[in-house]
Amino acid sequence: MAGNDTAKAGSFLAFLVGDIQESTSSYVTVAVLMGIAILVHKFSSPEMDAREPPSMKPRIPVIGHLIGMIRHQSSYFKTLENRKMAAATLPILNGKVYGIWDPVLIQSVYRNRDLSFEPFAVEFAQRELGFNNATLKIIQESTLVPEFFDGIHKSMTADNLHRMNANALAYVSNALDNVCKGSAAFEATNFFVWVRDLMTMATAEALYGPNNPLRKDASLMEDTWIFEADLPILMLGVAPSITARRCYNARQRLQAALSDYYGNDRDYHEDASQIVKNRAAALRNHGISGEQVGIFELALLHVATSNTIPTLFWFMAYVFSQPELVARLRDEVLPVAQRSGNGEVTIDIGTVDERCPLLVSCYREAIRMSNQGMGNRRVMEDTTISDGKGRTYLLKKGCNVQMSAQVTHRLEQSWGPDSASFVPDRFVVKSGKENAESEKMKRASFIAFGGGRHLCPGRNFAFAENLGFVASLLAGFDVSPLDENMKETHSVPIPATCSMTGAVVKPADNGAGYGVRVRRREGWENVKWRYIS
């Protein structure tokens, strides 16, 4: 392919030379056009090894793929998937990016230890968080990054997760008690914003304990989502205080509150979560001050809310918009909700996975439908990936690898002809040899949490938090989605476009015109909820 491109370039140059008269101005014109032609050829044709994934040329030379990514965000890789290539090299300017669409090849990427996510965490952190150069130098030149990730994984033990879940769900239970009293119904004109604000505060309570900065200033909840919404503009790094003013100002307010929290050692409180303690300890151990820890740790609040909460919204919208499904799920959940004589209801989150297969399936199906994130890896050394059937590709050191969940989560070869629809029991495992290959393809294609050593460490917290909340609603409440006229509806909102910095889509217009009504079920008016695992 490279040889053909060279021949074409040579023919083009010969045409230019032969067609222009030999005057002084013509020589200048020839020189300029030759220079342009050489530059176009150079930039549109990065050096390629025949063993690399085949080149996928953009429709607009040199910058076409870059324009597509900016314009269509993560959906651009869904567009490229239409070219039916398992893997491809995307030339961008004078560099290249590897795009992987085949689920088996993606799993090969996840297993490969020469492919790492950590460089992205370092490179984008300063743009996202705006910390000082001294902190950046520590991150780049010390052992902080591996120690930081090690601290995260050590904080995700069963006991620590249970404590976080119990604190989050206790907040949710108290909030429901306050808005749903007796038989009176609670209504919100925006279902998404109600869930968003409720669970943002619940998550912050679980993370930070009684000194939760968002409890002291509830306006920080709105700032959390302003920061999230405009982050793609901020990440461009072009005069962010002007081009991304709302995001920039929200970041400053959030970081001021978090700097006060960490600067005054409030993360040492016994009821602060272990993940907050471990991450802060790793930063402090490398000489980063408490105030700078607060600037850096906006990342934790962002990652804990930005995807988990929209996922919960879609989970609830898909479930509660289908009354027949609600009835089936309620029959499954009620045996797990143990009522005592004193009006207390205990839900054992640890048994939900085994005893509520349809509920768990609905949760995973909601993830499949809503998660459209991009997986990113950096090639640390020349390496290969393989589909196990003889197809192997070379990946060159220094290049980036990108994989789209929007593609794999909608592949008909993995999910069947109804891949674009919400199917409640899709993830109820089907036994038998005839289903083994199908189940294997589903597992390979479901990449919402990444894979390999970079598997999302917070997935189990999100699972228990979301399942516990929805199980409570199914058992003790009637939940009805409402249309723009506040009438019951059996539809779900249209999703917005997923940004390159996000993973889970939000409803279009931030959910405007899609409300919710919540009412306690008869006989459940005065119960108190308790959660164990």
**Which residue bears the tokens 């640890």?**
350
Q: What is the largest CA-CA distance in the chain?
A: 102
The neighbour count for residue 93, using CB atoms within 10 Å, is 13
Structure-block tokens of residue 210: 């009684």
The DSSP annotation for 134-191 comes to HHHHHHHHSSHHHHHHHHHHHT--HHHHHHHHHHHHHHHHHHHHHH--TT--EEES-H
Asked if 120 and 376 count as a contact pair (C-beta separation under 8 A), the reply is yes
For residues 208 and 258, what is the distance between their CA atoms, to the nearest angstrom?
A: 10
- Binding-site members for heme are 456
3-state helix, strand, coil in the chain (%, to 5): 55, 15, 30
Q: Helix or strand or coil: residue 279? A: helix
- Binding-site members are 456
C-alpha Rg value of the chain to the nearest Å: 26
In three-state form (DSSP H/G/I as H, E/B as E, the rest C), the secondary structure along 345-380 is EEEEHHHHHHHCHHHHHHHHHHHHHHECCEEEEEEC
For residues 443 and 488, what is the distance between their CA atoms, to the nearest angstrom?
A: 36
Of 8, 123, 96, 101, nearest in space to 414 by CA: 101
